[in-house]
Amino acid sequence: MPTLERTDSPSPHLPRTAKRCTQLVAASARTTLDPFEAVDWTIPIDDTAYHLPPEWLPLFGTAPWNAMTEGERIEYSRHEAAAMYGAGIWFENQLMQIVLRHLVELPVTDPSHRYLLVEVADECRHSTMFGEFIRQAGTPAYAPDVPAIDYSTLPGGRALGYLLILAVEELLDAVNRATMKDDRVHTVSRQCAKLHVLEEARHVSFAKTYLSEVWDTLPDDDRAAATELAAAAVHVMAQLTIDPNVYTTLGIDDGAELAKHNPHHRARMVDGLAKLTDFLRELGVITDDNEPEWRGRGLIA
């Protein structure tokens, strides 16, 4: 009887990514949390405490913020948290398309295949958690008012897609890490943030390992397109952290524009993107030639 050749060895062309995926699958098996067990949804999502750290709210330090009572600031934080989670659902639905398109092209024997399925499952659970927060918070169903992205025609190919994944996840990671450690913040918000930080760390690890290893193997046109479009694409993601409907709902005149141009908020965005922009410098996406564009868009200091 002939000996059958095994086909379940790691991808020979991306050995570091294959090794990292095996580690991430093991980590996921050790710690994957059910948001309907890890979060205590019996606690009312009310205005007894902030829902995001005050310093992370887009209006912090502006004239409308200074004019608010403490109760109004807390109410505003509840709406901002709901808007962030609404954007999170939109982001994750969009970004899962990148992962699913990647999965279509991967053989099941590639270690990335199993890990990426785990990542999609993580994102689905996160979206159910975000949705539950919004339902219980009593706010409108906030969501970005932008068209869906057709990733099949995205210039720069998968590389730009994973850069966008990193942009979103690094921004959310920064605010979530601050939220989960802040005793001023409502228990439910801190529990949601802690769950998200734990699992998104694995997603960031995969994306950075994959991009670092695949970048030099990409066609020149894909690398050039991803480099050219990265600043604009990351800027779009960062802008979606401000939802004008929050300010309309709360009757804050010009609130969205004030938040968008708030120096404190802009500095927070730079800080939140710092891990990404440092990585993109190492990768060669941010260069001396295009750094002024990144700075002009408020993405680096």
SS3 36: helix
pLDDT of residue 237: 87
Could you read off the pLDDT of 269-287 as tens digits, one per residue? 999 999 999 999 999 999 9
Q: If 0-12 CB within 10 Å is exposed, 13-18 middle and 19+ buried, where does residue 238 land? A: buried
Tokens of 250: 């709360």
Instruction: For residue 91, report the phi and psi dihedrals to the nearest 5 degrees.
Output: -55, -50
Query: What single letter denotes the amino acid at residue 28?
Result: S
SS3 135: helix
Query: Is 140 inside any structural domain?
Result: yes
Helices and strands counted in the chain (H then E): 13, 0
Query: Is 99 inside any structural domain?
Result: yes
Mean pLDDT for back-to-back runs of 10 residues, the chain (301 residues): 36 82 95 96 98 98 97 98 96 89 91 95 96 98 84 74 88 94 98 95 94 91 91 90 97 96 95 94 95 96 89
Tokens of 212: 């670092």
Query: Is 185 inside any structural domain?
Result: yes
Those residues whose C-beta lies under 8 Å from the C-beta of residue 231, and which sit 6 or more positions away, are 290, 293, 294, 297, 299
pLDDT of residue 147: 76
Query: Is 229 inside any structural domain?
Result: yes
Characterize 47-61 residue by residue with b for buried, 16 or more Cβ atoms within 10 angstroms of its Cβ, and e for exposed: bebbbbbbebbbbbe
Query: Is 186 inside any structural domain?
Result: yes
Query: Is 286 inside any structural domain?
Result: yes
pLDDT of residue 7: 35
Q: If 0-12 CB within 10 Å is exposed, 13-18 middle and 19+ buried, where does residue 108 land? A: exposed
Task: Say if CB 165 and CB 233 are below 8 A apart.
Answer: no
pLDDT of residue 151: 66
Domain of residue 146 covers: 47-296
Task: Say if CB 93 and CB 160 are below 8 A apart.
Answer: no
Count of domains in the chain?
1
- pTM of the model as a whole: 0.91
pLDDT of residue 9: 38
| Nearest residue to 203 via CA among 176, 243, 227 | 176
Look up the CATH number of the domain holding residue 70.
1.10.620.20
CA distance 85 to 79: 10
Outline where 68-110 has alpha helix (H): 70-105
Could you read off the pLDDT of 215-264 as tens digits, one per residue? 998 889 889 999 999 999 899 889 989 999 999 999 999 999 999 999 99
Count of beta carbons in the 10 Å neighbourhood of residue 224: 13
